[in-house]
């Protein structure tokens, strides 16, 4: 996903914050107590993490006690592994894999092929034909092969659908390998790790129904080609302006192919919607956090409504608010976003309670 922009938040935000006027409790709450999330859910509950956070005891204790699965936030991507000279550096992904193993957590590999990462080693052979195809295969074999037995799953292709939701992206992979570059990636990944579930992952499948349609069409095409696509990831980067019902509709549609679903990168931004402008939107943070809890509750309810065999995992894109990519440059905005389930000190927020309640009542 590109750095989030005001325009994209607007895309995700058709409803007005006025909806928040109905939130039951606008007063700041006292401390919230919830059982460890991983103990409540009958499926893996994940969070993204990176090695720089492993020295922070509050981060580690909040992660380890609440989550049962890790997605490396960036350290299993090409940007971390593929050096400019074409050699591989597995230092960082190995550290994440070791951390997961030490703490008895599952590891979800993320991600092998991403339009956003056209690394110099591939750019150099752009247009070269067979050498490009060989390097593509070699990269996927090397990475998926190294983590065979250590990851429980992979996002093989990430964010392949166009920004406007229509059709598939033109990228270095499609230009060099043709429209079936994705199917090829699944075959290579299977060659390296024959039994691991292989996912196709994308964002705004909930806010843009046309993007969801394109995504499902692409998944069907991959499946028809006989390539081993085995699950669908819906990132769910949304905001408190999310239209009620949209996440449910998305998950229901996505489940129609019968594949396991990974709600793979949930965060719920508390920022103002574009067009509303901060000075006209006086909704207090306490109320925004209640709306956020409703959105998280809807996401979990939607996930719980899937048959058990389609509930792959439910992953939050970070642990504490201050860990979120939405609090880091270039996406930090005014620095006040509170998109996750735990506050800056690692205490559970209303959204964490909503998640637990949704699991318990469905
Ligand atoms: O949150 C991630 C950020 O720290 C990285 O700098 C960035 C590039 O690697 O990727 C972010 O994670 C993205 C994820 O890999 C794919 N979906 C959108 C996520 C947020 O941009």
pLDDT tens for residues 295-339? 999 999 999 999 999 999 999 999 999 999 999 999 998 899 999
Q: What is the mean pLDDT of residues 94-122?
A: 98
Confidence class of residue 259 from pLDDT cuts 50, 70 and 90?
A: very high
pLDDT at 361: 87
Superfamily of domain 47-319 in the CATH hierarchy: Glycosidases (3.20.20.80)
Q: Which of these is catalytic: 73, 159, 168, 301?
A: 159
Q: Whose CA is nearest to atom 8 of ligand 1?
A: 74
Mean pLDDT calculated for residue range 43-68? 98
Question: What is the distance in A from the centroid of ligand 1 to the CA of 49?
Answer: 11
**Is 75 labeled as catalytic in the residue annotation?**
no
Q: How far is the CA of 1 from the centre of ligand 1 (A)?
A: 6
* Dist. CA 78–CA 118, nearest whole Å: 9
Mutate to test the pocket of ligand 1, among 4, 46, 74 (most ligand atoms within 8 A of CB): 74
| Distance from the alpha carbon of residue 227 to the mean position of ligand 1, in angstroms | 26
Res. 279 pLDDT band, cuts 50 70 90: low
User: pLDDT tens digit string along 328-353?
Assistant: 999 998 899 999 999 999 999 999 99
Which residue's CA is the closest to the ligand 1 atom numbered 14? 1
Return the pLDDT at 275: 52
- Supply the pTM of this predicted model: 0.92
Produce one character per residue of 4-25: b if its CB has 16 or more CB atoms within 10 Å, e if not. beeebbebbbebebebbeebee
Mutation probe of ligand 1 site: the residue of 73, 203, 262 with most atoms within 8 A of C-beta: 73
Q: Ligand 1 centre and the CA of 225: distance in Å?
A: 29
pLDDT classification of 27: cutoffs 50, 70, 90: low
Task: Report the pLDDT value the prediction gives residue 341, as an integer from 0 to 100.
Answer: 98
Position with higher pLDDT, 173 vs 7: 173
Half-sphere exposure of 45 (CA within 13 A, CB side): 22
Q: Is the pLDDT of residue 159 over 70?
A: yes
For 38-58, what is the mean pLDDT? Answer: 98
DSSP for 14-54 reads -S-GGGGGG-S--SPP-------HHHH-SS-EEEEE-GGGT
Question: Which are the contacts of 321, defined by CB distance < 8 A and separation ≥ 6?
Answer: 327, 337, 338, 339, 340, 342, 343, 344, 349
Which atom in ligand 1 lies closest to the alpha carbon of residue 77? 9
pLDDT digit string (tens) for 231-254? 999 999 999 999 999 999 999 999
Q: How confident is the model at residue 163 (pLDDT cuts 50, 70, 90)?
A: very high
Residue 281 binned pLDDT confidence (cut-offs 50, 70, 90): confident
Residue 5: the pLDDT is 40
Catalytic residue at 166? no
Answer whether 157's CB lies under 8 Å from 201's CB. yes
- The pLDDT of residue 13 is 40
Determine the pLDDT at residue 227. Answer: 98
The residue whose CB lies within 8 Å of the most ligand 1 atoms, and thus the one to mutate among 325, 330, 331, 337, is 325
Rounded distance from Cα 325 to ligand 1 centre (Å): 7
Among 168, 265, 287, 301, the active-site one is 265
Average pLDDT of the residues in 197-219: 98
Of the pLDDT bands very low, low, confident and very high (cuts 50, 70, 90), residue 1 is: low
pLDDT at position 130, please? 98
Query: What is the structure's pLDDT at 11?
Result: 38
By percentage, how much of the chain surpasses pLDDT 90?
87
What DSSP line would sit under 242-302, residue for residue? Answer: PPTTHHHHHHHHHGGG---EEEEEEEEE-PPPTTT-GGG----HHHHHHHHHHHHHHHHHH
What's the pLDDT band for 280 if we cut at 50, 70, 90?
Answer: low
Nearest to 325 by CA among 342, 306, 303, 340: 340
Q: How far is the CA of 112 from the centre of ligand 1 (A)?
A: 13
pLDDT of residue 274: 64
- Cβ–Cβ under 8 Å, residues 165 and 208: yes
Does residue 229 surpass a pLDDT of 80? yes
What single-letter DSSP state applies at residue 322? G
Ligand 1 nearest atom to the CA of residue 158, by list position: 16
Angstrom CA distances, 8 to 11, 199, 203, 274, 315, stand at 5, 24, 11, 9, 21
Query: For the chain, what is the mean pLDDT?
Result: 92
Q: What is the pLDDT of residue 166?
A: 97
Nearest protein CA to atom 20 of ligand 1, as residue: 1
The count of other CB atoms within 10 Å of the CB of residue 101 is: 12
According to the model, what pLDDT value does residue 362 have? 74
- pLDDT of residue 7 exceeding 50, the answer is no
Closest protein CA for atom 5 of ligand 1: 74
Q: What is the DSSP letter of 53?
A: G
């Amino acid at each position: 996903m590109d750095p989030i922009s005001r325009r994209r938040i607007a895309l995700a935000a058709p409803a007005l914050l006025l909806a928040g006027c109905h939130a039951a409790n606008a007063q700041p709450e006292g401390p919230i107590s919830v059982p460890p999330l991983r103990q409540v859910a009958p499926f893996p509950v994940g969070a993204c993490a990176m090695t720089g956070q492993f020295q922070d005891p509050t981060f580690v204790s909040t992660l380890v006690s609440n989550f049962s699965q890790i997605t490396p936030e960036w350290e299993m991507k090409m940007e971390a592994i593929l050096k400019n000279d074409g050699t591989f550096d597995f230092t960082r992904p190995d550290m994440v894999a070791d951390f997961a193993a030490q703490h008895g957590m599952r590891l979800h590999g993320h991600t092998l092929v991403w339009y956003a990462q056209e690394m110099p080693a591939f750019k150099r052979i752009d247009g070269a034909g067979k050498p490009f195809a060989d390097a593509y295969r070699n990269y996927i074999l090397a990475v998926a092969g190294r983590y065979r037995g250590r990851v429980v799953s992979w996002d093989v292709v990430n964010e392949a659908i166009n920004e406007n939701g229509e059709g598939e992206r033109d990228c270095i992979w499609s230009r060099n390998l043709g429209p079936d570059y994705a199917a090829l990636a699944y075959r290579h990944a299977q060659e390296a790790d024959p039994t691991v579930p292989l996912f196709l992952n994308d964002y705004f499948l909930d806010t843009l129904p046309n993007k969801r349609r394109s995504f499902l069409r692409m998944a069907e095409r991959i499946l028809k080609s006989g390539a081993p696509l085995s699950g669908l990831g819906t990132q769910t980067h949304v905001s408190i302006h999310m239209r009620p019902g949209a996440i449910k509709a998305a998950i229901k549609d996505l489940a129609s192919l019968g594949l396991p679903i990974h709600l793979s990168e949930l965060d719920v931004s508390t920022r103002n919607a574009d067009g509303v402008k901060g000075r006209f939107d006086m909704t207090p943070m306490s109320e925004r956090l209640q709306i956020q809890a409703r959105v998280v509750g809807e996401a979990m309810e939607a996930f719980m409504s899937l048959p058990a065999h389609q509930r792959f995992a439910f992953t939050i894109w970070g642990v504490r608010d201050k860990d979120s990519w939405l609090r880091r440059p270039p996406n930090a905005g005014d620095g006040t976003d509170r998109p996750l389930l735990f506050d800056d000190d690692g205490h559970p927020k209303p959204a964490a309670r909503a998640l637990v309640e949704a699991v318990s009542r469905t």
